[in-house]
Structure formats: structure tokens, C-alpha cells
A and B are shown apart, each in its own frame.
Chain A
Amino acid sequence: MRAAWRLAISSLSQRPSRSVLLLLVVAMSATLVCAVATAMASVTQSLRTRMVSFVGSADLQVVVPGASRPIDETVRRAVAAWPEVSDVSGRVRAAAALRSVRPTWPVREGDTSADRVLRSFAVNVFFESFRPGFDDVHRPVTLEQGRMPTQAGEVAIDGTVLDRLRGIAPRTDRRSGTLSALIGGTVADVPPGSPLESQDLGPPVARSAEEAASLTERFRVGLGDTIEMVRPGGAGSVQLRIVGIAPYAILGGRPRAWMTPEALAQATGQEGQFAELEIVLREGHEPQKIAEQRQADLPEWTLLQSTAKVTSNLEQSLRGQQLGLIVASSLAFLAAAFIILTGMTTGVVERQRELAILRCIGASRSQIAWSQVIAGLIIGIAGSSMGVPLGIGLASLLIWWFQADLKVELAFPYFGLAVGVAGSVLAGLIGALVPAWNAARLEPLKALASRAETPRASSVRWALVAGVVLLSTHLVVVTFSTGADQIFWLYLLLGLPGLFFGYFLIGVPVTLGLLRVAGGAIAWTLRVPRTLLERSVRRTPYRHGFTAGALMAGLSMMVAIWTQGKSFSEDWISKIQFPDAFVTGLALSDAAVRKLESLPEVEHASPLSLVRVETEGLGVTSLRRLKTTFIGFDPDSFFRLMDVTWVQGDPETAKRRLSEGGAVIVAREFLTSKGLGVGKRIPVTYQNRTAEFEIVGVVTSPGLDIVSNFFDLGEVYVDQAVSAVFGSRRDLRERVLNGGEPPTQLISLSLAKDVDDQTAVAKVREAMMEFGVLDVGSGRFFKNLLEGAIGRSLYIVSAIAVMSMIVACLGVANLIVAAIEGRRFEFGVLRAVGASRGLVCRLVLAEAVLVALAAAVLGTLMGLQGSYGGNRLNAVIAGLELSLRPQATPILAGWAIVLVLTLMAAAPAVLALSRKQPRELLAAMKG
């Protein structure tokens, strides 16, 4: 083995620039994979943290499905009396507004001084109880300042609440797009003499803008200040002192506040009532077993479940993400392996005579082969040692850059890092296998006597046939698979690899085909003899073809993402008819609905209840069972309000059937994915109880489920829901919730004509102050937010795609350098017989242009075929009907990027060639 090591190191050090290029290929692939893994792990860890704060870490929970009624104190005492229970705590929740009145000194344009203005800042907040001694352990809250409340009259708030109470408006620049952009506050001037005034108001006038800013800063609300809670139901207000300030909610999220259970219950009229109970068991008791045993001892409208079962949904979802990471990493490292394969195979060909002499003087085949394998391993290990820390660094930078919006903490992805290291090493190893095989098979005499043989035409034909077969596999899988699970797993195991390897293999015949079709034009444009260009490409078609294949991957990603992004935007989002405006809360009252309808800005309000149920199961059930949102409404008001498009059925018949009961309307996704349309029956399961409904209509989505999911971000991972079915509230109560009254969590509003939606939203927010709402928003703003989020995703993925192209360009650089090195004598002869420096350089560039052109064609075709596959997956799995919408601008931009990067990669080697004298080139004669 010592000999093999020496030969490996000799092989790498013989061509240092090319060895470095191959190392960089692996390093950049590892950087990409580790950056994505680190970002995903950080988001995942933040989601887990959020999960713990939402679900808690107690052993069991008692909840009320559908939140149809509270749990009272008698149930809590009964549970506390169980011998296996160590402790039980009741959780109180409420929605209410917090308000503070502060002096401000707003400076008007053109003025130098500023008069004092008293302003009221208010925000709708989600309140949770915090029981000292219990929640410190089972549902801890990280604080930036102060402590958690321990008695009545105290409150802890988070960063978003603090911002709104200080009048800091939500960010609406392009970097925002999380929930914080929607969580507005209410700001109003308070006339002097209001009983809300605080004792110290500061000077009546600020003499300068600087003094005004300084005074406003000094008097803004902070730790220790007193604010007021506007009690729901018009029950007045409660003074609360801020004792603690928590960071912003991770990944955006509702603004939160905490009070002691007794104080919160009293303030919101929920004395002796709880939203849920949390139970800690004594040692030696298994939660799931206890849950099964004790369910019968609780009222039938409650559900006893282990928290592990609740969090398992998140873990399932996260496992799906890990699967995605493995697939994406595999493709990235396979591309790197192909580049290494091409580079090292080129090296073997160039060193043929040297390897032949080694064989002549007694090197065995295995020593030669092992030297290649060891060289590949060195490249892989060195590449990973560079790429992995770079990837972590890059992700850290991105997380820091987007910290203001995402509030995500850096987490190290041990699994992702292992994938990065293993992938790098395997890329080097796999890339070295073919060169090792070739080197070992070298016959010394043949190698001494001649150069490499031109590949036979039959081998290129086989590459074409194999490539077409693989591409056809992809098309067959996506076109003819039925069922979400079938299409998902077949796509993952056959379709996606078939697509990738298929285009790689047809890269060789495509390159040769383009040489025939466009070789003349390229030669003419660059003013080089066509014959020379053709001969040099035909001599090494695999080298050129595989390099084009490596280059195409990034472009295909870009083409696919923009094509699909446009499809999502045009065929899905733009077709969603969001309500004009909406109000969300935990349990909105009829009084709130009446108040809304009394506003001149509001034409109509429709109260809705939302429950997550199981139906026919959109999504890949073997990975994760997705739920559906059952939206319960009053048929009369709903049809007046909602402007949906009827795909099947008609409003009059549907309204009648819904009022009769036993009927639902389904979103279009059910028809597309499952063929469920008018007349078919659909089972709806909630908490192990199933009810069947007849489908009386199929409509395009009014986006209510999206609104609901968006505002539940984080919690949605506990109970992820896709699409919606619509039924009457009576059916929801009687057939789904088994008699439990469904609370109103969403009120959909239609606004009066010619009313500005943002003005209306502000008015609604103010009017709803006393009704315990959580969020108020406009449909148009929400839709813009969604489209903005998709747009941002497109740019992020495009950045990843460009990085892939840069990685592949390192392979192009390697190809160009190898091509020049291997043909130095030939170039020397050309120069000797009168070819100019420029001609020789343009000849090399012409090859690079051909490779770029082949990559552009392959990448575009692969991207479009990949988009078609993606559309079919979306149709079968999620029921989304998307059409293929290729975008000319991103495609052309991608072509330009590929061409520019390729020429840039070739430039250094070409420049070096242009500086060499003919004598120098001729001295490289190999005989």
C-alpha cells in the first residue's frame, strides 16, 4: 500500500492546479449541502423549541377536541386524585388587547421643535397562563429581561408585543413576509386630560428633533412599566406591570403574553375553567398506557393523550425533511462525483505512458488502481474538511442576516454534517473508481505505442439508448402512477435518478449532435477551422459530454423552479379568492360579529369554525398523514359572502343540501387528486369517530385554510392540514364534534365597495379591541405576502442553482486545462506551421462554448421535464392542477450565466496557453 500512496500523491502533485480544481468541486458541494443542512437544522430546532412551548413537556394532556367547551376545576381535582399522577396543572388561554398610553414628540416635516402628543398603542395578544414551579420545568419561557409573573397584576410580554406597544410598525420591506408583517398595532392620539395619562409626561415641547427623539425613546414602554389589558366582552380593563420581556416568537408567530393562571382567568372571566390540563406522572408509569386506561374516567367530550404522540407529528414531518436532504445531497454529490470521474479519467489518459512504464518496471495492476482510489479519497477528505466548516459558516451568516424576520437560532446538524462528510468522501471514491479501473486495465505495450483510442460510435449509441430508456422511465412513472404513495416512492427511487442519469448519458450524443448542428456556426463566429473543432471534440466525446452534464444540473434547477413557481402563482395562488378581510381569535362571540356588521366599512361578516379532521388523505400517507380543515359555517351568510368558483354543483342546490345536513362542499384538490366530486361520499374522521358526508359541490379554494394555517405556523406542524371541506356548523357540532359547540375562530368579511382595505383593517382592529381577537388582516395584503414569499423562495433557490453551476464550472476548468495539457504538442505544431496565438486560444474557447451550449440545452430540457414531473406529483399528492409555464427570462438568464461562467472558467488556462512559445509547446512531445 505504501507504493500506492506514493503513486497517488505523485499523481495529485503532478498537476496541482487540476487537483485543486477537483478538490474545490468537492468542497463547494459539501459547502452547499452543509449550508442547507445547517439552515434546516436551525429551523427544525427552532420549531422543536416552539413545539415545546406550545405542547409542553408534561407526560399527558387533557384537551377538548374542537375547543368546544372549557374543562372545569372538578375535572382537574379528579385527575389530581389519581394515584399515578404527581402533579396536574390547568392551562388558561385567552385573546385580548394590551394597550399603553405614552407621551411622544412627533416632529413634523419642516419643523425644528415638536409638541408633546399623548398616544395610545394597542395590540391584540395571545395570552397563556404561566404557573410558577410547574411551567418553569414543563413549559419554560426564555426571557431577555426580567422574570415571569408570580402574582396578579403582573405580565410578561414578547418582543412583538413590546414593539407594537412602542408604536414600532411591522416591517413591510421585501425581507419581511412572516407573520410579523401582518401583526399590526393600533395607534391613536389621546386627548389631554384622559384618565389614561401617566404621572410623568415630560416637557410639553421638545426644542429640537434630537431632543424629541431622545424624549420619545426615554418615555417609551419598557420593563417595569404599567400597561392595561382590555378585557374581552367590554368588561373594562386591568392594569398590569411588565415584569418580563421574552424574545420575538421564533419564525414569526402570534404576539404572546403570560400571566398567572388565577390572574388570567379572573381578567377574562374564566374562573375555574381551563383550556387544557397538563399531567406529570410518577416514576414508573408509562404515559400512553395511562392515557388508554384513564380515558374512560374523564368526560366523553375530553381527550387524554400523551405529549409524545402529539409531537410525533412534528417528528414525522421532520423525517420527511431529512429524506429530502438526503435526496438533494445525493444528487449534489453525484454531480461532484461525475466531475471527479471526468477529471481523473482525463488524468489517466494523459499519464498513459507514465503508467505504462510503471507497469513495465513492475508495478502491479492493483497498485496502479489503488493509487487512483487513494487519490480520489484524498480529494474527498480534503474537500470535506474545507467544505463542511464553510457550509456552517455560510448558513450562520444567512441566519444572522435574516434574524430580524425569522428569529431562528443556529443549530448544528450532526446528521447533515455526517451527510456532508460521507458524501464528499464517497464523491471522491466513486469518481475514482472508473479511472482506477481504466488505469488497472492499461496494457503497457499498447500504452507505450499509441495515444488513447477514439471511442467507438457504438458506445455513444449505447449511451443514447440507455439515456432515453432512463428518461422514459421518469415519464412513465409520473404519467401513469396513481395514488400519492405510489407516485412519491416510484419518483424518488426510479423517476428522479432516471431523470438525472438519463440526461447525463444523453449529454454525450447531444454534445456530438450539437457539434454537427451548431459546430459550423460556433467555428464561424470564433473564426476557427471547423475541422479542427470537430476532430478534437470527437476524440474525447465522453469528456465533453459529461462535463456538459455536470454543468446542466444547476441550470435545470433554475428552469424547474421558475417554471413551477409561475405555475403555483398563476394556477393556484391567483385563483384563490381570499376574503376581503378576516378576523381571527380563539372563540369570537356573536357580539363581535354584530359589531363588525355595524361598521360602515363592512358589508357582511360570516363566522366560521375550523377543525382539523382526517379525510381521504391528501399527501403521502406512508410519510405523514395530512389532515384537512373542516370549515363550519352558516350556509345563508357564507354563500352571500364567498365568491368562489364552482367547479361542480351549483350554489342553490348546495345551500339547500347543506341546510338539510349530511352534505359538504370540497375544495378542488379532492377532485383532482382523488376524483371525489358531486355525488360521491367522503368520510370525515375526528378523534377516532367517523362521519360520512355527501359531496354537493366542488369549489376553488377561498384560501381560508391557508389563512388558518398561516396564523398557526409552528402549531401547524403538530397537526398539518392541507386543503378544506366546507359544511354547516350544525353538522360540525352534531356529526364531527359529537355535540360539542364549535367556537368561532375566523370571521370572514366582505368590505363595502370603494373602501380601501388597509383603512378598513385599521378600523376593524380598533373596533375589535374589546372582543378578544388575535389577528385582523386583509385578503389582498395576505395574497401579496404569499406571492412575495414565493418570489423570495425563487431567488433563494436560484442562488443555490447558480452555486451549483459555479461548482460545475470548476469541472469545465479542469476539462479545459486537461485538453490543453494533453494537446500541447498539437498546439505546438499548429503554432509552428503558422497558426496565431489567437486562433489556438479561440479553438479551445470554441470547445468551451460547445460544452456550454450542450449544458444549456440539456439543462433546459431537464428542467422542463422535471417541472412536468413536479406538476404531476402535485396533482396526485396535493390535488393541485398546475400547467407547465416555462419562463423565457429565467431560462435565457440561465443560458447566459452558463455561458459566462464557462468562458470565465476557461479563461485562465487559455491565457496561459496564449503566452507559451511554440518551442515550449513542441517540447511536450510524447512520441
Chain B
Amino acid sequence: MLNCVDVHKSYRIGDRTVQALRGVNMSIERPGFYAIMGRSGSGKSTLLHLLAALDKPDQGEITIGGSRIDRLSEREATEFRRTRIGIIFQQFNLIPTLTALENAELPAILQGADAGKTRARAGELLERLGLGERLEHRPDALSGGEQQRVAIARALHFAPSLILADEPTGNLDSASSAGLWKLLAEIAGEHETSIVMVTHEPAAATHCREVFVVSDGVIRSKISTEGLDESGVASRYQQSVAAT
């Protein structure tokens, strides 16, 4: 369902060129919760942005759900982000003046869908995420964890086959973070959705099926977390990085 073949990407910063990705090969064949881990500057966020069609690779192919997203036009990429994937950010996820319900139905509003149906869908998702009592609350009345759950509801609105999360627990405490990872793992299982999360925390990775380790712009290894706890994942990750 997701396939990257020899993906390269570089950026100009000032007068120098930074090679962020140098031939990434990555494949996800079944739904599940996946992590991309790596040090700061390793290229993990760049990879996520390419998967979200927020940018185009200089070279290589990216296929998601059978579509070559590296060939999408500006309009097609916008449509892709609206209906075929979901995105969760670290912060500033929500529109401050919209309620939780309105934030959750935002992709449908952008799509121009029928108001009654979108509201019902958004309400249902929020209920299932434990926010049934908070539908009419604005973001400043919600905790960090609650805001992220609203963002998850928004991402799930069109039941996408892929959800991308960029350090979603970066602003949460450890208890909330653990709760969120568990939730994401459940959603991946229940909705037959692939969730790809960028993280630098081994604790997060333990909730994932596999971890892709990114280093110096390439996928160095793929760690299966089956049977591993947090320290096990951390150890395997360190080994992976040390080997580069």
C-alpha cells in the first residue's frame, strides 16, 4: 500500500545544498502502526512531508494506494491530502475559533460535503475517541491530549488508508503520550489503516509493528518490535544507528 523507491530530496539553505534524502527505499504492505525514527537532521520529517504530498522528490518514486504521488499536480496533491490521507502535527493542529466538532469536520467542509452528514460523522468519531462531552468546546478549553484526539478525529474523517503523524506527542506529558500511542495502535487495528508516525522516542516505537530507522538520508534498517519492550527497542535502534 505504500512504496518508496530510490527517493532523493535536497534543499538549498543559503548558499549551500543539503541532501536530506539519498535514496530511500521503504515499503508498507499491510495496515498497522509504524514508526520512523532517527536523530535530528536524519531526514525523517522530510520523508514524512514527501509521503504527505507536501513536497516532491528530486528523484525516485512514491506510490500510495496505487497512485504515484510524486507525479501529482498541485490540485491533485491538495485533493489527495484532503480525502486520501490524514495528517496529525505536533502542535497548532486546530483552528482556535472552531469548536472540537467543527475542527473534526473541517476536511469535509473543505470538500464541500453536506453539512448534516459531515457533522454526524465528526460527532461519531469524537464520541469514539472519548470526547462526547467536549464537542462544543474550543481548543483553548481542551487539554493537549484532547486536542490531539480531535486532530485524530479530523484525520479519520474520510477513513483514509494512511495517516501520517509528525511527533504527535511532542507537546504532551508522558502519561498522555502513552495514552495517545495506545490509541493510535488501536485505530490502526480497528480501521485497517496504516499509521506512520515520526518519533524520536523508543517508548512510542514499542506500540508500533515496525520501526524504520533513518540515518543520513537513507533507511538503515527495519526493526520488528514483536516481543520487544522499550529498552529492547531502544537497544536495537542504537545498534542500528551505530552501525552507520
Q: Give me the interface of A with B, judged by CB distance under 8 Å.
A: 2-3, 6, 10, 13-14, 353-354, 357-365, 367, 444-445, 448, 926-927
Contacts and interface: CB of A to CB of B under 8 A. Distances in A.
A4 to B, nearest CB: 10
Given A10-B95, A354-B95, A361-B106, 6 more contacts: A3-B110, A361-B81, A361-B87, A362-B83, A363-B110, A445-B49
Interface string B114-134: 000000000000000000000
A361 B95 contact: no
27 contacts: A2-B109, A3-B110, A6-B109, A10-B95, A10-B97, A13-B97, A14-B96, A14-B97, A354-B95, A354-B96, A357-B89, A358-B95, A358-B106, A359-B78, A360-B52, A361-B82, A361-B87, A362-B82, A362-B111, A363-B78, A364-B78, A367-B110, A444-B54, A445-B55, A927-B90, A927-B91, A927-B92
Contacts of A6: 109
Interface in B84-103: 86-87, 89-93, 95-98
A360 B82 CA distance: 8
- Residue with the greatest number of chain A CB neighbours at <10 A, chosen from B82, B98, B109: B109
- Residue with the greatest number of chain B CB neighbours at <10 A, chosen from A6, A354, A362, A363: A362
Contacts of A357: 89, 92-93
Contact of A362 (B79, B93, B95): B79
A825 to B, nearest CB: 13
Contacts of A353: 92
B12 interface: no
Contacts of A3: 109-110, 112
A592 B109 CA distance: 89
Kindly list the 3 A-B residue pairs having the minimum CB-CB distance in the complex, ordered from nearest: A362-B82, A362-B81, A10-B97
A75 B103 CA distance: 88
B16 interface: no
B75 interface: yes
A361 B92 contact: no
B137 to A, nearest CB: 16
A354 B83 CA distance: 19
B78 A362 contact: yes
Contacts of B107: 361-362
Given A14-B96, A354-B92, A445 B54 contact: yes
Contacts of A360: 52, 54, 81, 87, 89
The range of chain B's interface size is 20 to 34
Contacts of B110: 3, 358, 361-364, 367
B154 interface: yes
A10 B81 CA distance: 22
Interface string B209-228: 00000000000000000000
Contact of B92 (A10, A14, A926): A926
Nearest to A356: B92
B51 to A, nearest CB: 12
A353 B92 CA distance: 7
B139 to A, nearest CB: 11
B79 to A, nearest CB: 7
Contacts of A445: 49, 54-55
Nearest to A926: B92
Contacts of A363: 78, 82, 110
Interface of B: 49, 52, 54-55, 74-75, 78-79, 81-83, 86-87, 89-93, 95-98, 106-107, 109-112, 154
Contacts of A364: 75, 78, 110
Contacts of B86: 361
A444 B89 CA distance: 13
A217 B3 CA distance: 105
Nearest to A363: B110
A13 B99 CA distance: 13
A367 B74 CA distance: 14
A597 B208 CA distance: 118
A923 to B, nearest CB: 10
A832 to B, nearest CB: 19
Contacts of B96: 14, 354
A10 B109 contact: no
A357 B89 CA distance: 8
A2 B112 contact: yes
Contacts of B97: 10, 13-14
Contacts of A358: 95, 106, 110
A6 B102 CA distance: 10
Nearest to B91: A927
- Residue with the greatest number of chain A CB neighbours at <10 A, chosen from B55, B86, B97, B154: B97
A448 B45 CA distance: 12
Contacts of A444: 54
Contacts of B111: 362
A263 B235 CA distance: 123
A927 B89 CA distance: 12
Contacts of B112: 2-3
Contacts of A362: 78-79, 81-83, 107, 110-111
Contacts of B83: 362
A10 B75 CA distance: 24
A3 to B, nearest CB: 5
A367 B112 CA distance: 11
A891 to B, nearest CB: 45
Contacts of B78: 359, 362-365
A481 B43 CA distance: 65
B146 to A, nearest CB: 17
A354 to B, nearest CB: 6
A34 to B, nearest CB: 33
A361 B154 CA distance: 9
A378 B195 CA distance: 41
A354 B111 CA distance: 18
A3 B91 CA distance: 23
A2 B98 CA distance: 15
B239 to A, nearest CB: 31
Contacts of B92: 353-354, 357, 926-927
Contacts of B79: 362
A364 B90 CA distance: 22
A14 B55 CA distance: 29
A254 B91 CA distance: 78
A359 B54 CA distance: 9
A15 to B, nearest CB: 9
A445 B89 CA distance: 12
Nearest to B170: A927
Nearest to B46: A445
Contacts of B98: 10
A926 B91 CA distance: 8
Contacts of B95: 10, 354, 358
- Residue with the greatest number of chain B CB neighbours at <10 A, chosen from A361, A365, A927: A361
Contacts of B91: 927
A365 B75 CA distance: 9
A322 B93 CA distance: 53
Nearest to A364: B78
Contacts of B82: 361-363
B160 to A, nearest CB: 11
A309 B209 CA distance: 94
B132 to A, nearest CB: 23
A362 to B, nearest CB: 2
B102 to A, nearest CB: 8
Contacts of A2: 109, 112
Nearest to B81: A362
B179 to A, nearest CB: 22
A927 B91 CA distance: 8
Contacts of B90: 927
B158 to A, nearest CB: 9
- Residue with the greatest number of chain B CB neighbours at <10 A, chosen from A13, A357, A360, A448: A360
A7 to B, nearest CB: 8
Nearest to A367: B110
- Residue with the greatest number of chain A CB neighbours at <10 A, chosen from B52, B78, B87, B98: B78
Nearest to A13: B97
A357 B112 CA distance: 18
B156 to A, nearest CB: 12
